[in-house]
Amino acid sequence: MIALSPVLSALPALLAAAIASLSLIVLRGPGRLPTALPNMRSLHHRPVPRGAGLAVWSGWLMGTAWLTAPQPWLAPLLLVIAVSFWDDRYGVRVWTRLMVQAVAACAWIWLSKTPLNLFVAVAAIVWMANLFNFMDGSDGLAVTMALFGFGAYAVAGSMAGVADAPILWALVAALVPCLVMNFPPAKLFLGDAGAVPLGFVAAIFGISGWQEGVWPAWFPLLVFLPFIADASVTLVLRLLRGARVWEAHREHYYQKLVQLGFGHRGTLLLYGALMMGSALSALFALGRAPSSGPMLLVLWSAVLALVFSAIAYRWRARNMGFNESKH
């Protein structure tokens, strides 16, 4: 496919940002979105409308619909968006959601004709979709990760001269207005309709970029490492304790950080720095020394392990103090 001219390359992003902004104005109207009510497991103390992710998808899809590039991800993504928004409004059983996500992943693999191990690929896609949702519990966190993550994808795609780069830039542009609404204190939440599809898209674009030789396999892992590490370590620890991993909780490291007094802004600042560092180092390695990617993955994993250990230490100390104060 012939690459677009510079002017046409910027048009999808401009359209996506404009349509997403207009969609947010419409969605903010009373009663147009379901409301997230505070509960024992949330980090918020007031009702906030959720489902603002619909603005991201309306902006992105309408801003890129006129492009002629093959889009085997479109139908599977729409399926994930539909079941996720239904879950926001009415609730959907866990196994039903997982089954729909697995079907969507299988559909994308079949439509894209990507030569992958089906079980491994579906598991990776479904896990990425859900971990993004797990990590969407603090103001601005998931949108910021998406901006850095898809921004890194877009830069890498532009560096490689791939014709799909404008589609990635359009997604970044559609996310910017949502960050304004989701920045602490959040006026709107992404909801499942935003977070789950973002993880789904991060996985399928990461895999397709690897399969097409745009980047090595380590690149998407490093770009999204702060989210992957927090969600994965938390899940493993809960499994080892025999906890019901499908139930909502407040045991992620970012959740503990908020509860330790960092608040939503402090947590966003720390995690935003980690996101920016891992994404920029991934781009630097991709452009200058691709062979250093696996080592950077190890180094950033060590950095995150230290951060998580520090948070866990403070968490234990706080809980011990609470227990002692009760005697």
Quick one: pLDDT at residue 243? 85
Report residue 38's pLDDT band, with 50, 70 and 90 as the boundaries: confident
DSSP assignment, residue 44? -
Quick one: pLDDT at residue 95? 94
Please report, to the nearest 10 degrees, the dihedral formed by the alpha carbons of residues 168, 174, 180, 181 taken in order.
-130
Provide mean pLDDT across the span 292-315: 97
Phi, psi of 50 (to 5 degrees): -125, 150
Quick one: pLDDT at residue 321? 52
Query: What whole-number distance in Å separates Cα of residue 324 and Cα of residue 327?
Result: 6
Q: State pLDDT tens for residues 2-14.
A: 455 555 678 999 9
Residue with the two structure tokens 């499994």: 239
Q: What's at 172, amino acid-wise? A: V
Q: State pLDDT tens for residues 192-215.
A: 999 999 999 999 999 999 999 999
Instruction: Report which secondary-structure segment, H or E, holds 235.
Output: helix 225-240
User: Which of 65-79, 105-119, 296-310 has the highest average model confidence (pLDDT)?
Assistant: 296-310
Q: State pLDDT tens for residues 82-101.
A: 999 999 999 999 999 999 99
Quick one: pLDDT at residue 4? 53
Query: What whole-number distance in Å separates Cα of residue 216 and Cα of residue 214?
Result: 7
Query: What whole-number distance in Å separates Cα of residue 258 and Cα of residue 266?
Result: 8
Other CB atoms within 10 A of residue 326 CB: 5
Quick one: pLDDT at residue 6? 59
Phi, psi of 216 (to 5 degrees): -75, 170
Cβ atoms of 81 and 222 closer than 8 Å = no
Environment class of 131 (CB within 10 Å of its CB; exposed 0-12, middle 13-18, buried 19+): buried
- Entry pTM: 0.94
- Residue partners of 46: CB distance under 8 A and separation at least 6: 38
Three-state DSSP class for residue 50: strand
Whether residue 197 is preceded by a cis peptide bond, meaning omega within 30 degrees of 0, is: no
